[in-house]
């Protein structure tokens, strides 16, 4: 297999050298070029044809966010790993970067004067991501694309009945912030059901993501709190570091948080929410598993199908990583697979059944 071609975009000479030296240690990676700012990087792209880009957020001439916006117009699927600082401002910029198309984000080493500590951080945080996303790109290019928007061969009769939907649950990970923005920015009115979301993100970032979604959607999103009522026309994100469950009593739907052990190495975990929602809503539940690595959500979808609920998964071509949706599809727990740009219409269609 050929080497993963990486373009490094970083204005700091010290940081740029550290990144390049870290990547050069791995025989599967080749640094094909470096740029000091976004304008220079965009000019190099046609010549270098990288498989992946590392991109600093704060740079002169053209910063990382402006570069990312321009990059996505021409290269919607090129993996981009952003570097951001461990500050409140850096966190806000990170969430914005993820919602406009960054594949992943890595925190800059806090102390560049300690080179051994900085390189260890880069080796542990950056290098595995470069290899994973780079290899994923090359594997996709070597196999024919799967068909999109198809019914699952194992779809049951119950999944096709026109039962009203009382709640929508979404499980998503890598590439999720951008996918959520794309979906909910296209929905013209608040959905008539509560929308419950598990997005694999650290604490603090989920609150910022809720704010970002509210700014682009026609409905309000919240970071969930323990005991919070889940209302139709509102979206709720499980906070980073806490599982989210849902229950109904006296006609009121409420969300509950806990810090029980991680599942699938995740907390919050999609499986936890889906199992709880399946028990609460039964056949009146719609769930969707979007882009993400791993298999979180597979067992939860099994529980949803067992209770007569419906399961949608994002297709491989539009997923940043077809891990979570792919596992659900291959396990036979999905009713339908479709591209990201059809999810909004599908959510609207299902939520209007019986109304």
Fold of 4-141: Rossmann fold (3.40.50)
At 175-206, the pLDDT tens digits run 999 999 999 999 999 999 999 999 999 888 99
Q: Where in the chain is the domain with CATH 3.40.50.2300?
A: 4-141
At 125-181, the pLDDT tens digits run 899 999 999 998 888 766 665 566 666 655 544 444 578 999 999 999 999 999 999
pTM over 0.85: yes
Distance CA 259, CA 261 (A): 6
- At CA 292, angle to CA 120 and CA 22, rounded to 5? 20
DSSP 8-class letter at 341: G
Active site members: 173, 200, 296
DSSP 8-class letter at 101: T
Return the number of other C-beta atoms located less than 10 Å from residue 127's C-beta: 17
Of the candidate CATH numbers 3.40.50.180, 3.20.20.100, 3.40.50.300, 3.40.640.10, the domain formed by 150-351 belongs to 3.40.50.180
At 210-247, the pLDDT tens digits run 999 999 999 999 999 999 999 999 999 999 999 999 99
């Amino acid at each position: 297999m050929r080497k993963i071609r990486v373009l490094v975009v970083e204005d700091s000479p010290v940081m740029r050298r550290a990144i390049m030296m870290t990547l050069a240690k791995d025989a599967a990676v080749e640094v094909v070029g470096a740029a000091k700012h976004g304008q220079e990087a965009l000019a190099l792209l046609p010549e270098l044809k990288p498989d992946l880009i590392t991109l600093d957020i704060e740079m002169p001439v053209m910063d990382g966010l402006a570069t990312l916006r321009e990059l996505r117009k021409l290269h919607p699927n090129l993996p981009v790993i952003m570097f951001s600082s461990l500050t409140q401002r850096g966190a806000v910029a990170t969430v914005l970067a993820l919602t406009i198309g960054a594949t992943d984000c890595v925190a800059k080493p806090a102390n560049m004067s300690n080179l051994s500590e900085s390189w260890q951080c880069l080796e542990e945080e950056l290098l595995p991501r470069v290899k994973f996303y780079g290899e994923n790109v090359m594997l996709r290019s070597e196999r024919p694309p799967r068909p999109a928007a198809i019914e699952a061969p194992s779809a049951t009769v119950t999944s096709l009945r026109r039962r009203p939907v009382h709640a929508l649950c979404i499980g998503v990970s890598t590439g999720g912030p951008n996918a959520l923005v794309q979906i909910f920015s296209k929905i013209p009115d608040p959905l008539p059901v509560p929308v419950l979301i598990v997005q694999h993100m650290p604490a603090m970032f989920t609150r910022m993501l809720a704010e970002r979604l509210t700014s682009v959607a026609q409905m309000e999103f919240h970071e969930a709190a323990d005991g919070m009522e889940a209302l139709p026309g509102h979206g709720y994100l499980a906070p980073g570091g806490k599982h989210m469950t849902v229950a109904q009593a006296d006609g009121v739907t409420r969300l509950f948080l806990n810090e029980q052990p991680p599942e699938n190495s995740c907390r919050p975990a999609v499986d936890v929410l889906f199992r709880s929602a399946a028990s609460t809503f039964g056949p009146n539940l719609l769930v969707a598993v979007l882009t993400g690595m791993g298999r979180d959500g597979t067992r939860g979808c099994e529980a949803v199908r067992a209770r007569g609920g419906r399961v949608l998964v994002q297709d491989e071509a539009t997923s940043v990583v077809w891990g979570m949706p792919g596992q659900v599809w291959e396990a036979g727990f999905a009713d339908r697979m479709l591209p990201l740009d059809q999810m909004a219409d599908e959510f609207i269609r299902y939520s209007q059944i019986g109304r």
